[in-house]
Structure 1
Amino acid sequence: MPAAESLLHDPAMRPRRFVAGGPLRGTIKVPGDKSISHRAVMFGALAVGETRVTGLLEGEDVMATADAMRAMGATIRRDDNGTWYINGVGVGGLLQPDRALEMGNSGTSTRLLMGLIASHGITATFTGDASLSKRPMGRVIDPLAQMGTAFTATPGPNGSQTLPLMIRGAAPAVPITYRLPVASAQVKSAILLAGLNTPGVTTVIEPIPTRDHSERMLTGFGADLTVEEQDGERVIRIRGEAELKPQTIEVPGDPSSAAFFIVAALIVPGSDLVIENVGLNPTRAGLVEVLRAMGGRIEEINPRIVGGEPVADLRVCHSPLHGITVDPAVAPSMIDEFPVLFVAAALAEGRTVTAGLDELRVKESDRLAVMATALSSIGVAVEEREDGLVIHGSGGARLPGGTGTAVATHLDHRIAMSMAVAGLASDAGVEVDDTRPIATSFPNFEALLDGLAQ
């Protein structure tokens, strides 16, 4: 898959055309789970003593989290074997940063760190790249402000609050009970992290369950945290002024990164691929179940528990797929995987209908609009609705591909990787306008793909 010649004038952009090759065969490992990596760094930086982490995702987003924790007093280093050592400052011990916290493209870093700082008596300024600076922060600001934290944000479109943003933590903060108005693991986690240094009990009520890495890992670090089911809702309580204990953490492979290779193996004829050490937390495994419902052959090998998280090796074989109506209730367990699911749907027999995906409009890009435009440009029949897409599949036939303008990725790593996968099942290939954003979550994506698709 040779890189395309640039059709763009910005010399910093890295366009590339992804084209069909042979079947995907062999065994690969994907990078460590991004959500778990962020939390391992943050919680290790709040523990007293040395936390050791293996398998940490070394993408730009997680490195932004590490840099921020260093700026607030933690010592973080990596040895030559890839093990990370984090010496923390203790809950309540964060230091005043002497510079703005640069978040790059990482919404997770920004929102979770806002929660951490919210109950510490320090002031910090958050900055980010052009994409992150457009993303709304109000859903995190609202509950943290109820705890006593003060914010000065940049006004955005439609009354939104965006970066650059200054936060002045409350010491002491006030515990709250907060029912999430939308399903968001980032908002939930931000409140729980603020609760770590808040006297009393902070409570979050989830009408719809979201990924639970924060609850699992905080419990592992020794936080006094409970989860109960009440009237069909999850009620999470954390007792503040916690003392976290250092841990040894093995980060499983990121299911959101594995998703691109799962779909690629399903849609490229002759493929038989094993993806090792994939995290299968039930709050993250929605894509696997949806693809199985579409006819995908995905086998779990050697299922096991690693660091409190369910893990397995996945064997994925090329499969004829058929369209389905995706239950909106599954959306929180695969919210980041919908762009590549849309690609799988484009190769399926019949129609795939998705709904309840309003959250995708406020990700790194408006992923519904961007994917609808991108897929249409390579010959896929797509209907864009307010909260989802309807995709009419090719029945397994290769997609026409793109022969004109490169697909606009809008600085969104998941758009770039999803359209790269689409190129593997196209006649003319698919050119994406910029592969640089891929490094935020999956630095070796292209190298892995090149090694398989010969």
Structure 2
Amino acid sequence: MTQSITFTVQPGGHLRGEARVPGDKSISHRSIMLGSLAEGITHVSGFLEGEDALATLRSFQAMGVEIEGPINGNVTIHGVGLDGLTAPKDPLYLGNSGTSMRLLCGLLAGQKFDAVLTGDESLSGRPMKRVIDPLSQMGAVIESADQGRAPLTIRGQAGLHGIHYDMPIASAQVKSCLLLAGLYAEGVTSVVEPAPTRDHTERMLVGFSYPVKKEGSQVSISRQVKLTATDIDVPSDISSAAFFLVGASIAPDSDLTLKHVGVNPTRTGIIDILKLMGADIELSNQRTVGGEPVADIRVQSAQLKGIAIPENLVALAIDEFPVIFVAAACAEGETVLTGAKELRVKESDRIQVMADGLKTLGVNAKPTEDGMIIQGGVIGGGKVISHHDHRIAMAFAIAGLRANDAILIDDCANVNTSFPGFVTLASQLGLDISSEEKV
């Protein structure tokens, strides 16, 4: 990417009003994948028009699926059936999207054609052995660069077989990858997870009339005849809402309502953690839309206090920790996170990058191997680097609400991967933020 974007946030402000943040990234990815493999036409509304989800959409177009849109979040997918994909002429470029790459590995492992998956510099550094190894046990043939990194070449295999896999680490992407491969495998594919992770794939398979068996921490799938097209209304992404949940909690005189937010119990760790810290958050208008629980969330400012974050909530809030660290910096006392080693292999090393940035702003933040220890106190101003990580950039923007001087954030172009329009919406709600593009 030739452009670089810098955010400048002036100190102070509060968040007030009502907003609907963009659609859920996880559900947007999966709606394209399953809609493409279904028989019939799938209509999606609320689709996230961010770079990551669009990378998935373009990949399926490259494999012969007719997809119209997105227009204002509306996408129409003309499904080609489980065996209807065709070989892409060129490598499939997935940008910054780990979800696209890991899930497509599973889905492509059972096709009859070869495909190459590539990504940007950040994605090419992320660990893919965690999906390559179990897929190889199923009979997949996947060639990679050093240490299992992208680019990945997936050889067409008409002979996957189901396996029973105990996942060494809790990862929704690994689980989803193997379930998608299970659509093409002989026999039963079952995955056991060490801790609960997001279950959007399982819920959506059921939405497409495809049977999934869940027993305790084990999920199983076997080859069936077909997926049947359905309509999907994508709820707002709780990972995007998280920035405003924290912002309204830490900024005095805030009162904010976020509409139609997905509150899938495998994703609400952020709400549980903030409530343990003393946040004033209430859910209303709770309902189920397309198999996914949805609610309106009202948050008002509160004095947060430091806590030891329960390890059983870590996997349920794994993407929200950059902004949880900002909440901790504004809380009274000490916040301790353990059991979150996974944060070191996200779009950036989120433990180190957040600790470095918080220290720049004068916060006492000590990184540990699997977490962080943060003493709440005063946030100053300064220049922080997001290392091209969208969630780091937005977390430091929210810190401006409690800073006593301006914060400059470099490398913010990737915010468009998950939250296009972040600066505009944050400004409307009361954050003093501007964005400058340099080529």
User: Which interval holds the TM-score relative to the shorter structure?
Assistant: over 0.9
The reply to whether residue 273 of structure 1 matches residue 264 of structure 2 is no
Aligned-residue offset at 1:407: 1.1
Counterpart secondary structure, 1:15? strand
Counterpart secondary structure, 2:367? strand
Residue identity opposite 1:115 in structure 2: G
Counterpart secondary structure, 1:407? strand
Aligned-residue offset at 1:11: 7.2
Higher relative contact order (CA 8 A, sep 6+): 2
The reply to whether residue 451 of structure 1 matches residue 439 of structure 2 is no
Of 87, 98, 109, the residue aligned with 1:96 is: 87
Aligned-residue offset at 1:169: 3.1
Of 173, 177, 184, the residue aligned with 1:190 is: 177
| Per-residue deviation, residues 271-298 of structure 1 (Å, max 9, x unmatched) | 1001101111010000101101100000
Instruction: Give the match for residue 372 of structure 2.
Output: 389
Q: Which runs of 5+ in 2 are unaligned?
A: 433-439
What is the CA RMSD across the aligned residues, in angstroms? Answer: 1.2
Counterpart secondary structure, 1:443? coil
> How do residues 191-270 of structure 1 correspond to structure 2 at under 5 angstroms?
191-229=178-216, 234-270=217-253
Residue identity opposite 1:162 in structure 2: R
Instruction: Give the match for residue 106 of structure 1.
Output: 97
CA distance in 1, matches of 2:157, 2:363: 51
Residue identity opposite 2:156 in structure 1: G
> How do residues 170-185 of structure 1 correspond to structure 2 at under 5 angstroms?
170-185=157-172
Instruction: Give the match for residue 340 of structure 2.
Output: 357
The reply to whether residue 346 of structure 1 matches residue 329 of structure 2 is yes
Instruction: Decide whether the 8 Å contact of 1:384 with 1:390 is kept in 2.
Output: yes
Instruction: Decide whether the 8 Å contact of 1:423 with 1:429 is kept in 2.
Output: yes
Q: Scaled by the length of structure 1, what TM-score is found?
A: 0.93
Instruction: Give the match for residue 290 of structure 1.
Output: 273
Of 26, 43, 51, the residue aligned with 1:35 is: 26
Counterpart secondary structure, 1:322? coil
User: Is the alpha carbon distance of 1:177 and 1:242 closer, same or farther for their aligned partners in structure 2, counting shifts above 3 Å?
Assistant: farther
| Per-residue deviation, residues 73-119 of structure 1 (Å, max 9, x unmatched) | 21111265542100111112221111110000000000001110011
Instruction: Decide whether the 8 Å contact of 2:239 with 2:319 is kept in 1.
Output: yes
> How do residues 2-41 of structure 1 correspond to structure 2 at under 5 angstroms?
12-41=3-32
Structure 1 residue ranges (4+ consecutive) displaced by more than 6 angstroms after TM superposition: none
CA distance in 2, matches of 1:195, 1:249: 23
CA distance in 2, matches of 1:133, 1:251: 29
Q: Scaled by the length of structure 2, what TM-score is found?
A: 0.96
Instruction: Decide whether the 8 Å contact of 2:12 with 2:403 is kept in 1.
Output: no
The worse-fitting range, judged by mean Cα deviation, of 346-355 and 239-248 is 239-248
Instruction: Decide whether the 8 Å contact of 1:195 with 1:201 is kept in 2.
Output: yes
Counterpart secondary structure, 2:99? helix
Of 399, 402, 412, the residue aligned with 2:379 is: 399
CA distance in 2, matches of 1:55, 1:204: 30
CA distance in 2, matches of 1:16, 1:202: 46
CA distance in 2, matches of 1:268, 1:202: 48
Of 400, 405, 409, the residue aligned with 2:386 is: 409
Residue identity opposite 2:136 in structure 1: A
| Per-residue deviation, residues 134-168 of structure 1 (Å, max 9, x unmatched) | 1010000001111111111111xxxx211111111
| Per-residue deviation, residues 334-370 of structure 1 (Å, max 9, x unmatched) | 1000110000000000000000011000000000000
Instruction: Give the match for residue 68 of structure 2.
Output: 77
| Per-residue deviation, residues 23-50 of structure 1 (Å, max 9, x unmatched) | 2110000001000110001000000110
Q: Which runs of 5+ in 1 are unaligned?
A: 1-9
Residue identity opposite 1:213 in structure 2: H
CA distance in 2, matches of 1:380, 1:61: 32
Identity of paired residues, percent?
Answer: 51
CA distance in 2, matches of 1:261, 1:81: 22
Instruction: Give the match for residue 153 of structure 2.
Output: 166
The worse-fitting range, judged by mean Cα deviation, of 242-251 and 346-355 is 242-251
Counterpart secondary structure, 1:321? coil
The reply to whether residue 138 of structure 1 matches residue 129 of structure 2 is yes
